Amino acid sequence: MDTATLLVELGGVLLVLAVAARAALKLGLSPIPLYLLIGLALGQGGLYPLVTAEGFILPAAEIGVVLLLLLLGLEYTPQELASGLRTGWRLSLLDLLANFTPGLVAGLLLGWGAIASIVLGGVTYVSSSGIAAKLIDDQGWFANRETPLVLSLLVAEDLVMAVYLPLVGALLAGGGVLAVGGSVAVALAVAGTTLAVAMRYGETISASLFSPSGEVLLLSILGLALLIAGLAERLHISAGVGAFLVGIALSGPVQERAHGLLQPLRDLFAASFFVLFGLSVDPRNIPPVLLIAAVLAAVTAVTKVAAVWWGARRAGLGPRARWRAGSVLVARGEFSIVIAEIGVAAGIEHRLGALATAYVLLLAVAGPVMARLAARTAR
Amino acid sequence: MASEVEETPLPGVGVRYSFVASSGARVSVLHHHSGRHQVFVGEPDDPDSARLAVELDDDDSRVLAELLGASRVVREIDRLQQSVAGLAIEWMRVRGGDPAAGRTIGELGVRSSTGVTVVAAMRSGEALPVPGPDFAIEPGDTLVVMGRPDAIRRANELLRG
């Protein structure tokens, strides 16, 4: 590949992403749908098919997933995860049933295979914690009484992902029920052990990694995360889950500094990931699935709000707080794409990429709009 | 008197402390892991929601804490009558009808008749350290007196009746 062309294309893509991120900031929206649209426009069948930058974007996207989940893990301490699970498990279970089922059923109705349908269920289940956290911040809802409930539900969803991703990985790896069961058992054991070790020795591990030099710290954490992610992928536990567990294990000063050091990297590589996902989808495949995506988006917006409404009511919150809590979680984003990508990469269903893209595009925009409406009716 | 402070961990965000002020308003302080500090005040028409009052960085919050803490420290000292090796410090506010109002420290013979020393006088928010015998006490002044606990009791009778 010609170096000049690579640099020119890559620079061009980043500048286009910058314009999109700026526009998203101005509109108060998540940049994720715009990144996806840019990917669509640059892929095969798009406005300007990009060839050379794929050489960089492909590995960058892999790193993007690792960083997305590493930083997610860094957000939480093991104690926060454990207490989140204890307090809100009823709501979390309802959330899972109410939002996984529509995707699963839609996949089966479309005549998709079982695995593709399970992947679609994951796409419709998980809310975007990035969009939700930003919405709560922008609206100044951190001191609201529904906010702890919203945040612990997000924690629970992330934990479910730690079980779900290895499950999908094992299903895709194939083999009989026994092989899949074995893989899942291994995944659960590894995740459980990591959590227990993190709770017990997290501080020791973190202390041994710590260095006052940002450079040393960056290289150690990134190296460790990529290494564990790679090993996890090899064990069919999924790279993302490995990185997530590394993030959880880190605590104290390492956690605080790592967050600041890795955030700009995450922004770059995660953007590459969304672009790559868009690239892998032929835009001509979107119109045929648009209606299905819209129906699925409408149904799962309602099921998400309804599940959260029930939980918030149980927690003694008023109607306006229930509505706020529900609407803030409607947006699906980064993790729906992470899940869909696993299915797309495995090539299990050719409409999956297009459907997931259209679905996330719709809800990543509709979710924040709903939350803003909820804020307005509250006044 | 403010109610108890309630601590709520917000996973991935930080820790939130809330209490209900004596005015009835719910006040919350949120410390983000990222080092931001936010102060919220409850919305009167929706008990579940709160409005962001101010966002502070580390330095700002220290300044605010000092501003709020200053008056609190004064009251704490007042309440404790902090005893240092048998010595006590007492804050005495002189009102209009009190025996000390309008007279000088010398006239009253504060030290000779009670055994306390007037270490400072506070007038309209300003502190005058070690006022002399010709210092005329005005209604509204607060005298900071130091001495043995029994001397403080006598000074209180002499100054405020």
Instruction: Check: CB of residue A183 under 8 Å from CB of residue A166.
Output: yes
B38 sits in which H/E element = strand B37-42
Lowest-pLDDT range of A199-203, A227-231, B3-7: A199-203
| pLDDT for residue A104 | 96
Residue A298, C-beta contacts closer than 8 angstroms, at least 6 positions apart: none
**Interface mutation vs chain A, best among B31, B49, B52, B58, most A CBs within 10 Å:** B49
The two beta strands, B26-32 and B50-56, are: unpaired
Radius of gyration over every alpha carbon of chain A, rounded to an integer in angstroms: 20
**Sorting pLDDT into bands at 50, 70 and 90, what band is B25?**
confident
Please tell me the predicted confidence (pLDDT) of residue B9: 82
Residue A254's pLDDT is 81
Residue B41: closest C-alpha in chain A? A143
DSSP B13: T
Chain B nearest-CA distance from A136, in A, is: 11
What gap in Å lies between CA A294 and CA B109, rounded to an integer? 90
pLDDT tens string A133-183 = 888 888 888 888 888 899 889 888 988 888 888 888 888 877 677 777 777
Mean pLDDT over residues A233-245, rounded? 83
Indicate the pLDDT class of residue B159, thresholds 50, 70 and 90: confident
Task: Identify which of B12, B30, B49 has the shortest CB distance to residue A320.
Answer: B49
**What is the model's pTM?**
0.75
Q: Check residue B128 and give its pLDDT.
A: 82
Show Cβ contacts of residue A14 under 8 Å, excluding neighbours closer than 6 positions. Answer: none
Q: How far is CA A53 from CA A10, A43, A59, A60, A353, in A?
A: 6, 11, 11, 10, 20
Q: Is the ipTM of this complex over 0.90?
A: no
Taking an 8 Å cut-off on Cβ atoms, the answer to whether B49 and A378 are in contact is: yes
Chain A, nearest residue to B33 by Cα = A256
A40, exposed or middle or buried, with CB in 10 Å at 0-12, 13-18, 19+? buried
Cβ-contact A191, A184 below 8 angstroms: no
Task: Check CB contact of A118 with chain B, cutoff 8 Å.
Answer: no
- Mean pLDDT estimate for chain A: 87
A150 touches chain B (CB under 8 A): no
Chain B CB within 8 Å of residue A155 CB: yes
B40, A133: Cβ pair inside 8 Å?
no
Task: Band the pLDDT of A252: cuts 50, 70, 90.
Answer: confident
Closest chain A C-alpha to B44 CA, distance in angstroms: 11
Q: In angstroms, rounded to a whole number, what is the distance separating the alpha carbons of residues B122 and B71?
A: 13
pLDDT of residue A234: 85
Q: pLDDT tens digits for A67-112?
A: 998 988 888 877 777 777 777 888 999 999 999 999 999 999 999 9
Cα–Cα distance, B66 to B61 (Å, whole number): 8
Q: Are B151 and B117 in contact (CB under 8 A)?
A: no
